[in-house]
Structure formats: C-alpha cells, structure tokens
Structure 1
Amino acid sequence: MNSDDLALFAQVAKNGSISRAAMELGADQSTVSRRVGLLEAELGVRLFHRSGRGVTLTARGQQLLGYATTLNETLAEAERAMRDSAEQGPAKLCIAAQPTIARILFGSLGHALKARYPLTQVHFVEGLAADILNRLSDGAVDIAILYLPEHPGALQFDPLLSEGVQLITPANYPLKGDTISVRDLGDIPLILPSTHHGLRMMVESLANRYGFSANIALECDGSISITKRLVLENCGCTVLPEAAVVEEVKAGRLKSYRLEDPEIHRTVAIVWPKNRVTADGLWAVTQIIRQRAADMVEQGAWPGATLINP
C-alpha cells in the first residue's frame, strides 16, 4: 500500500462510485476497480459494500479513510512548507565575485535578490580569486561568480558568459592600430598579478603555447583599480576584460587593443565547491544571477561579453 493507493481509495469513497471516481481520476473504470480489489486483498479486509447504486464504506473502510485523510493532509502540508521555504529563500546569502564582475553585476543583482527574497540577508564580497576560492571552500561564501581558472580542479561550475580579454596601455603608448597578435605580447611590459592568480596564469599559458616569454614589468596583487592606476602612470601595460576599463578608454585616459591570432576569451562562471552540500534555495539564486547577467549583456551593459547557454 502506498500514498497513490490511498489517494485512489479516498477518491472512490468521496464519489461513492467507482465509475465516477475513474472519471475524476482520468482512468479506466476497470483499472480503478482492479486497484481497489488489490488493495482489499493486500489488507485482507473489505473496504466497500458494492451495489447497483454505487459503493459505500464498510467499518474497516471508514477506519482506513481516516488514515488516508490524515496522509493527504500531511502531504499537502509538506508541499506548502516546501513551497513557502523556497519562496522565502535562505535566511542569509553570501555571494562573492572578482572586482570587474562585482562592479558590473552586484548593483543589478542586489535589486533582483531583495525583490525576490525580501527577508534574506544578502552579503556581497569582492576579492581576488584565490581568496574567494578559500572562503568558498571554508563555507564563508555560498556562491562565487568568477573568471574560471585555467585548471578548475575541485570546483563545480556553471558557465555564465564568455568575455574577451584585451591589452590595456597608457593613452600615449606607441602601438598602432587597435589589435595586437598574442605572439607579440612578449614585447609589451606587463603589470600582472603574481603567478597563482588567473590573469598571470592565462598569460603564462599563452606564452608557453605561442612561444614567447612574458615581460613582467611589475607584479600587483591588489585590486583592478590599483593595476589601472599603475598603467595610467606609465608603469607598464596589462591585460583585462573590456568591461574593466570601459570608462577610462572612453575618456581617452587608457587605450585598449583586441588580442587576436587567436582572440582570447575568459569564461565567467557561477562556482561552488564539490566538497560541500549545496544549501537549500541556492539553485533558484543561480537562476536569478543568470537572468541578471543575460539582461545586462542584452542591454549592452556588459561590454565584450557573450552569453553561454546553459
């Protein structure tokens, strides 16, 4: 006996007729009759008195109907509780992102999350990838939105979008055109993070693949804004997504050159650790993140980005 059997039994009892119950259930009368018979055989009792006018409950049938009613109410209550919990969202939610992603996405995402989950305490964190990944693994961060590392390792991730990477130089840097071959990066003095950070690993990987040596003018593990300040003050050049420098390039304070032969892209992904159980409600949060990112790309608010369909 299972909940489906009890639901069918209760429907027959409610209708007082196997044929009417079959119509309500969208089933064949013979199927309903057979299942009632099997239930009676399994329990070893007669549940209905049968007559030409329909069926009526026996004393044992009345007893079982009480259990069936209680079970149906319990199942309905469980469904309501789960729906209410999903509607309310998590009590607390910590989302982390690297600086460029945070600057573009956090404002729009904050509005969307508070509209959807007004009772949730939302905490945004901006940081470098290594720090975010450590906090993600420790459980201090629930979801991260990151440029996917060259070697994701023990991460689960859902690709969100692809973003082009460009060479960024001072406004007066003596480089013609608006593109540069990846193979010519070895001639450019670069300001990059130290070796365990994503952009540095990407450039080192390109150097190995295309046969040049990265010319590291300075190492900077600070924020993107510090790296941009160093470029503005002619300390060197860097590689960044277009969205990270769109205001400075538009104002003529920096110049950007598209990397080509081939074009270089990084994947922005929603990330969580493999070694931790995903908290309730986070799947719905990831869908909100995806929708916000899609809206911003379609509106042109995320320059140089292309959506990756789930």
Structure 2
Amino acid sequence: MNSDDLECFVRIVSSGSLSKAALELGADHSTLSRVIARLEGDTQVRLLHRSGRGVVPTEAGKALYELSMDVVTRMENARNAIRIYQCGGPRKLVIAAQPTIARISLIPLSLRLKEQFPNTQLKIIEGLGARILNLLASGEVDIALFYLPKNTAELKVDVLLHEHVSLIAPPAHTHIGDTFPVSGLGGVPLILPSTSYGLRVLAEGLAQQAGVSLNIVAECDGSTSLTKHMVQAGLGSTILPVAAVADELAQGKLRAARLVEPEVVRQIGIATSKNRAPIVGHWAMMRIFHEEITHIVKSGGWPGAVIA
C-alpha cells in the first residue's frame, strides 16, 4: 500500500466509476483495476462493490476512503509547498495588521519571508480593524493579521492567538491592583475609539453584560500611541492588551490590571478574503505565518497571548 494507490482509490470512490477515474487521472482502466486488486490484497478485504452502474465502497472501503483523504490532503499540501519554492513565490505580497500586532510580528515575519522568497516584493499596511476589513473585502490585501470581529463570514480565517485584555490606567492610580472586575468599568473615566469596531464594541458589550454604563470622557480615533499618551497625561483610562503597553509598563509610565469576572479575551487571527483567488504559494505562506507567530509567543515576545 502506497500513497499513489491511495490517491487513485480516493479518485475512484469519489467518481463512482473506474472509467471516469481513469479519464480524470489519464490512466488505463486496467491500471486502476490493478490498484484495487493490490489494495484488496494488502488489506485482505473487499473494498469495492462493482456493478453495471459503477462502483461503491464496502464498509471497509468507506473506512479506507476516510483515512486516505487525510493522506491525499497531506500529499497535496506537500506538493504545494515544493511548488512555491520552484516558482520563487508571488511577485508581490500585501500584508496588513493592526498597530500592536504589526509592531510585534511584522519585522520578524518580513525577514523570514524575504529569506525564503527574495524575489517577492512586500507591501506592509498598518491600520485599524475597520480599515483592514475594507481592504480585505476589496481584495487590496493578500493576508491580514488582526483582532477578529464577531462576524467573519466574508473571510477565510484561522485563529492564531487568544489575548487577555486589561484596564490601562495612569501611573498615579496606585489603588488599581493586578486585576479589575468588569463591573467596575462604570466608575472609571475611559478613553475609547468612536468606531463601531474593536475595543469600543468590546467595552460596550462588557458594560451591558455587567449592567453598568460607561463613563467615556474622550474618544480617540488615532493610533494606539496617542491613546496611551492621553492616559499617561491623566485624562482617563482605556482598555488594551498588555502587549500594546509593554514598554510603558516596564518604565512605570502606565499601570495595567487584567479584566476579570469574567476574564476578557480577544482572538487574533490570520485572514484572507473569500472574494479573490488564493495567492501563489498560499499554503507555504500560511505555514510561515503560523511558525513565526508561534515562535514569538513561545519566546516571550508577545506578553498576554497564548497559542490558540
């Protein structure tokens, strides 16, 4: 029993006919008959029922078909991986990410991509979640890394990480401990985006669940950096993952208390659009993204995040 025989078997069962499978594979009917005879000899069971209308798998054949599908998928992935190295990768790759994710991941990702695909031109876009969604929808972005919205129906998404969210307060707020209950958000002056995406939606949802009203003293639709400076100045607090404020926490410029009761976690995913064809070497690119993100987290470079 070998992978070629299993691939032939899958094609035969899928088409329901030796003749159709032979046409699809560009092989002789007799060749496929020998494949079935070889498999049945190896397994010592009948795998197919033959009739004038074609072939159907026996119970043993169904079991082998299901197991063979995994082998066929792995073989196809292996071929795709080799193919991308042969063609040298896509001519251009456009990657988008939200600011915190971009700061942590895009430099090591870019280095890895250029090492393996030196002829591929990279274009990096940093933007807020709503903009990234629009770019994905329009097909202007090949791959995006961002905090996943509730509705991802128009995207092909793999969840990469789970990341804890914290209350981020001015350094003078020494009364805030290591954790902070969600029910207490109503008593905190907050600085949040005005957009109907991301942290604003998250905060409003948490407040509704806790039965409290948010005290939003300022709205900031600029970068995370601007929001952090507003918090440092004492204008209010905000909610962010600790990775977004790691430097400021280390320098004592901000304080962080992990939100609890319930614990608040966001999903970070890698996404492509369903409205466009996959890029050349899609599988190999995704593998690189997964490997690099995993390495960053395991090496301590992404505080507050865990592999999904």
Q: TM-score, normalised by structure 1?
A: 0.73
Amino acid paired to 2:173: Y
- Give % identity: 45
Cα distance in 2 between the residues matched to 1:299 and 1:148: 24
In 2 relative to 1, CA 237–98 (structure 1 residues): closer, same or farther, beyond 3 Å? same
Quick check: 2:91–2:120 contact (8 Å CA) kept in 1? yes
Q: For 1:174 and 1:253, how far apart are their aligned partners in 2? A: 12
CA–CA separation in structure 2 for the residues paired with 1:278 and 1:140:
13
CA shift for structure 1 position 94: 0.3
Whether the 8 Å contact between 2:180 and 2:259 is mirrored in structure 1 is yes
Larger of the two Rg values belongs to structure? 1
User: Does the Cα contact within 8 Å between 1:150 and 1:202 map onto a contact in 2?
Assistant: no
Give the distance between the partners of 1:196 and 1:87, measured in 2 at CA.
42
Matches within 5 A, 1:74-113: 83=83, 87-113=87-113
The answer to whether structure 1 residue 239 and structure 2 residue 239 are counterparts is: yes
Look up the match of 2:122.
122
- Please name the residue that 1:172 is paired with: 172
The gaps in structure 2 that reach 5 residues or longer are 1-21, 42-78
Shift of 1:88: 1.1
Higher mean Cα deviation, 278-287 or 182-191?
A: 278-287
Contact persistence 2:160–2:307 (CA under 8 A): yes
> Could you say if the C-alpha distance between residues 115 and 87 of structure 1 is closer, same or farther in structure 2, counting changes exceeding 3 Å?
farther
CA, structure 1 residues 209+84, in 2 after alignment: closer, same or farther (shift >3 Å)?
A: closer
Q: In terms of mean alpha carbon deviation, does 84-93 or 202-211 score higher?
A: 84-93
- How far residue 275 of structure 1 moved from its aligned partner, in angstroms, is 2.5
* Aligned partner letter, 1:230: M
**1:188-199 to 2 correspondences below 5 Å:** 188-199=188-199
Question: Residues 252-309 of structure 1: CA distance to partner in whole angstroms, max 9, x if unpaired?
Answer: 010000111111110000112222222222222121111111001110111011001x
Paired residue type of 1:117: F
Q: 1: CA distance between counterparts of 2:282 and 2:193?
A: 31
Q: Could you report, residue by residue, the CA deviation over 1:13-39 in whole angstroms, capped at 9, with x for unpaired residues?
A: xxxxxxxxx9xx9x86xx9xxxxxxxx
Residues 134-173 of structure 1: matches in 2 within 5 Å?
Answer: 134-173=134-173
Q: Secondary structure at the match of 1:123?
A: strand
Aligned-partner SS, 1:4: coil
State the Cα distance separating 1:228 from its structure 2 match. Answer: 0.5
TM-superposed deviation, 1:89: 1.1
Q: Does 1:262 align with 2:262?
A: yes
Q: What is residue 28 of structure 2 aligned with on the other side?
A: 5
Q: Give secondary structure in 1 for the equivalent of 2:212.
A: coil
Contact 2:161 2:268 in 1 (8 A): yes
CA distance in 2, matches of 1:306, 1:299: 11
Q: Is the 8 A contact 2:84 2:284 kept in 1?
A: no
Q: Report how many residues are paired.
A: 244
Specify the code of the residue in structure 2 equivalent to 1:204.
E
Partner of 2:27, secondary structure, is helix
Paired residues of 2:169 and 2:231 also in contact (CA < 8 A): yes
CA shift in 2, pair 1:230/1:158, >3 Å: same
Are the structure 2 counterparts of residues 8 and 213 from structure 1 closer, same or farther at C-alpha, using a change threshold of 3 Å?
same
Deviations 1:17-65 (A, max 9, x none): xxxxx9xx9x86xx9xxxxxxxxxxxxxxxxxxxxxxxxxxxxxxxxxx
After superposition, the C-alpha distances for 1:95-130 in whole angstroms (9 at most, x for unaligned) are 000000000001110111011111100111100011
- Cα RMSD between the aligned structures? 2.5
Instruction: Report which stretch shifted further, 195-204 or 145-154.
Output: 145-154
- Assess, with a 3 A threshold, how the Cα gap between structure 1 residues 182 and 91 changes in structure 2: closer, same or farther: same
Question: What is the rounded CA distance, in whole Å, between the counterparts of 1:165 and 1:300 in structure 2?
Answer: 17
Equivalent position amino acid for 2:237 in 1? C
Residue 186 of structure 1 pairs with residue 186 of structure 2: yes
Q: Distance in 1 between matches of 2:176 and 2:232?
A: 18
Task: Determine the structure 2 residue equivalent to 1:15.
Answer: none
Counterpart in the other structure of 2:212: 212
- The answer to whether the Cα contact below 8 Å between 2:84 and 2:280 also exists between their aligned partners in 1 is no
Distance 2:84 2:216 in 1: 54
Q: Taking structure 2 as the reference length, what is the TM-score of the superposition?
A: 0.73
Unmatched 5+ residue regions in structure 1?
10-21, 32-78
When residues 229 and 235 of structure 1 are mapped into structure 2, their CA distance, relative to the original with a 3 A threshold, is same
What does 1:4-43 align with in structure 2 at a 5 Å threshold? Answer: 4-5=27-28
Aligned letter for 2:205? S
